Amino acid sequence: MVEVKICIGTACYVMGGANFLLIKEKLSDKERKKVKLEFVPCLGYCKSGKGKPPFVLINGKIYEKIVDVDALIEIIRENIEK
Amino acid sequence: MEKIVEVDFCNVPKHLQKISGDVFQKNIASDNENKVVCTLSDGLGSGVKANVLATLTATMAQQFIMNNMDVRIAANIIRSTLPICSIRKISYSTFTTVNIDSAIELAKVIEFDNPPYFLVRNGKMLNIKKKLVKLEKQKNITRNSLMYSEFKVEFGDRIILFSDGVTQSGMGTKRLPLGWRLEGVKKFILELLEKERDISARRLASLVLKEAMKNDLFVPKDDTTCAVLYYRRARELLVITGPPFDKSKDDYVVERFKEFKGKKVICGGTTAHIISRKLCKPIKINISERSADVPPTSTMEGAELVTEGILTLNKVSNLLKSQEFKSDTSKDGATKLFDMLLNNDCIHFLVGTAVNEAHQDPNMPVELGLRRITVEKIVRLLREVYLKKVLVEYV
Ligand code: FES
């Protein structure tokens, strides 16, 4: 199971996180079963200065500056295959 | 228990007119915050000219009554300022002014040619004795008197004003050949109050207007306005936004949240997180909510509403400024908060002043600004335009 926590805090939201709200529709049924999706408020990374928003936490690892939904799906797929 | 006078109105201009010839104004007296003064003025004719005349009348009436001028003198000045219709020999606008001092629970009403106001108490229409006040005769004016009434207001009283667009709505139609008339309006209001005892001033005014529009088959033949003053218990709202400047104040914020008796809103992810952690109440994001410009709201036990912070506040500030009431279509965090602000009377803001540096990044595609500045804008609008009692505390 891949655990995905998508930040929809202010900084992440304006830097592109808003588009991630559509992600469920973009995953196949098979993939959806393997992914636990969760939207969360500010993860705190934006304030730490480490990396740039939008941030997504996947299986405990933080990913930064994810340009769009497709890029996010790509990362999720990689994690499914792992 | 804090009591307030809720004042609201609803208005549509005559068909094909962009601007209404009915004008409603409300103010709180500068020397007495318990005194609410409002005027409904109907300018003769319609369109811009009627609007200018009605605005002139309402503004004068408001100022004179707020400054405790004798009604006779006030009415005379207004009459002699307004131009007179050369054919009908009547002055160019009619008006009703109500002022209520809630500290002494006294209402005073001046009526100059508008349909008579309604006073509803315990579901019944009350007949108030009115005094005919003769005015100085003026050349070419046929109307030389006004009606004055004064009464003790009681908790739960509603005073309802409307322009003749309401009473005459439907005139000439098969269903209401003589129009809705006072009797029809009265029946409608009493039946509505029977069903919805606690109906707000805002909703009552809008439903009366909707019915009048329906009578006119949605092509209003005149400017149509209904205004309601409702003397009731004040509704209190607490809006907590932003983490405190000093972390040691977190507990204080949580305490305020826990202790507050009215409705509560949390505005900001980090703020919600602090409260949720300390009270061990989980937050759930409502992902089904889609809005182009504001992140979705969340749900947390004990809070009426949990929204994102600065983007939501900025949108609320814009909504308040534009005075657009289209909020029942797309509901997002901002329109929900906007509704809550308008539906409550005493609003307490608890504003954390910690600055989120991530928001000040020049690479951000939108200007986020500072929370404090946005809150200040909202507070000013709520006080000045919406006549709310607002208390602000910074932490
Ligand atoms: S807003 Fe996403 S980490 Fe802060």
Tens-place pLDDT, residues A43-67: 889 888 788 899 999 999 999 999 8
* Cα-based angle B103, B108, B113 (whole degrees, multiple of 5): 155
- Count CA within 13 A, CB hemisphere, residue B51: 11
Of the pLDDT bands very low, low, confident and very high (cuts 50, 70, 90), residue B140 is low
Calculate the dihedral angle through the C-alpha atoms of B12, B17, B18, B24, rounding to the nearest 10 degrees. -40
Q: How far is CA A11 from CA A15, A56, B274, B325, B366, in A?
A: 6, 12, 18, 29, 10
A43 Cβ closer than 6 Å to some ligand 1 atom: yes
Question: Cβ contact (<8 Å) for A13 and B356?
Answer: no
Task: List CB contacts of B171: < 8 A, sequence separation 6 or more.
Answer: B177, B178, B179, B221
CB B35 within 8 A of CB B20: no
Q: Is the pLDDT of residue B290 over 80?
A: no
Residue B368: per-residue pLDDT: 82
- Using CB atoms within 10 A of its CB, is residue B134 exposed (0-12), middle (13-18) or buried (19+)? exposed
Look up residue B148 and give its amino acid: Y
pLDDT of residue B89: 65
CB of A56 sitting under 6 A from ligand 1:
no
Q: What is the mean pLDDT of residues B317-341?
A: 81
What is the pTM for the complete model shown?
0.72
CATH superfamily of B3-233: PPM-type phosphatase domain (3.60.40.10)
Find out whether the beta carbon of A20 lies less than 6 Å from any atom of ligand 1: no
**Tokens 């005349």 identify what position?**
B53
DSSP summary character for residue B46? S
* Closest of B167, B175, B160 to residue B222, by C-alpha: B167
pLDDT at B87 over 80: no
Q: Is the pLDDT of residue A6 over 50?
A: yes
CB-based burial, B192-217: b 16+ in 10 Å, e otherwise: bbeeeeebbbbbbbbbbbebbbebbe
Residue B54, SS3?
helix
pLDDT band, residue B327 (cuts 50/70/90): very low
Task: Give the tokens for residue B216.
Answer: 């006119």
Tell me the chain B residues in contact with residue A53 when contact means C-beta distances shorter than 8 Å: 358
Indicate whether B329 pLDDT > 60: no
Contacts with B10 (C-beta within 8 Å, 6 or more apart), sequence order: B202, B205, B206, B208, B209, B225, B226, B227
Record: contact B364-A14, CB cut-off 8 A: yes
Q: Determine the residue of chain A that is closest to B291 in CA distance.
A: A18
Q: What are the sequence ranges of the domains in chain B?
A: 3-233, 236-394
Q: What are phi and psi of B113, to 5 degrees?
A: 70, 5
Residue from B364, B370, B371 whose CB has the most chain A CBs within 10 Å, to mutate: B364
**B296·A21 Cβ contact <8 A:** yes
Of B272, B283, B368, which is closest to A10 when you measure between CB atoms? B368
